[in-house]
Amino acid sequence: MIISVASGKGGTGKTLVATSLALSLKGKGKVQLLDCDVEEPNAHIFLRSTTNQNQPVFLPVPKVDETKCTYCGKCAEVCAYNAIAVIKQKVLVFPELCHSCGACSYLCPESAISEEGREIGVVERDSLGNMEFIQGRLAIGEPMAPPIIREVKKHIDPTKEVIIDVSPGTSCPVIEAVKGSDFCLLVTEPTPFGLNDLALAVEVTRKLGISSGVVINRVGVGDEKVESYCHEQGIPILLKIPLDRDIATLYSKGIPLIEGKPEWHNTFLKLFQDIKKIVSANQAVE
């Protein structure tokens, strides 16, 4: 089963939930934790992982052979991302804008364009007993997270329980990380900002056809509107985590919740079982 852990809003405690869920399953069989928050992966801090196996990720970008080029401008014309420009007797390539669609090299009438790899980040792996940990890390200044996320997700082993830590927001990296999941856990907080971003994240999961449930973190900090919204929308609230100084202290020290407060271990196991029941019920309906 693949469970993605997302949050429309940043700073809601998504990584706290993802790591605690994965660690609670560690003694129950094989589990994978994938950190797909590739612009700022931080699950490794909680797992104390040194990620010893690294694999660079390359994107193909065009390389122009100007001895063949006639400066016809066809490549610039077909590029939807303005990643290639032809000016007088020069072809300029802007690798950071290139989406590696291959259209320019395919359509160049002189076959003057080949492709070369450009490193945009790395996939790092570690083995932590029964848990396999895989994280993507986008190189500083690189704009495109989805190709790194795709590389991380290639490591998914369908025989294992897979937890995916998704980046905050509702943009392309979130969609790339969440799609293909059996269930999406949405971590929010009971504030107006939390509610606004939760509603956006719910829309994304509905568009993707993935059922979702909610974890409300820092219960006590705001109002009841998140709960009312979930009831109105028929979205199950699967866990509430109180506003608690000890939990905040553990988080700030990079200590997983179920390690610092072992009494939470069974709560996260139950969370997993509840998700499993929902997924099984959905599969039975299909």
Binding residues for ligand SF4, rule: CB under 6 A, are 62, 64, 69-75, 78-79, 81, 83-84, 86, 91, 98-104, 108, 110, 112-113
Least Cβ distance, residue 66 to ligand SF4 (angstroms): 8
Least Cβ distance, residue 94 to ligand SF4 (angstroms): 8
Q: Which is nearer to ligand SF4, 83 or 215 (CB)?
A: 83
CB 236 within 8 A of CB 278: yes
Least Cβ distance, residue 108 to ligand SF4 (angstroms): 3
Q: Which is nearer to ligand SF4, 2 or 83 (CB)?
A: 83
Least Cβ distance, residue 112 to ligand SF4 (angstroms): 4
Give the pair of three-digit tokens for residue 123.
Answer: 């996939």
Least Cβ distance, residue 150 to ligand SF4 (angstroms): 17
Q: Which is nearer to ligand SF4, 78 or 208 (CB)?
A: 78
Least Cβ distance, residue 65 to ligand SF4 (angstroms): 8
Q: Which is nearer to ligand SF4, 89 or 283 (CB)?
A: 89
Q: Which is nearer to ligand SF4, 6 or 59 (CB)?
A: 59
Q: Which is nearer to ligand SF4, 102 or 192 (CB)?
A: 102
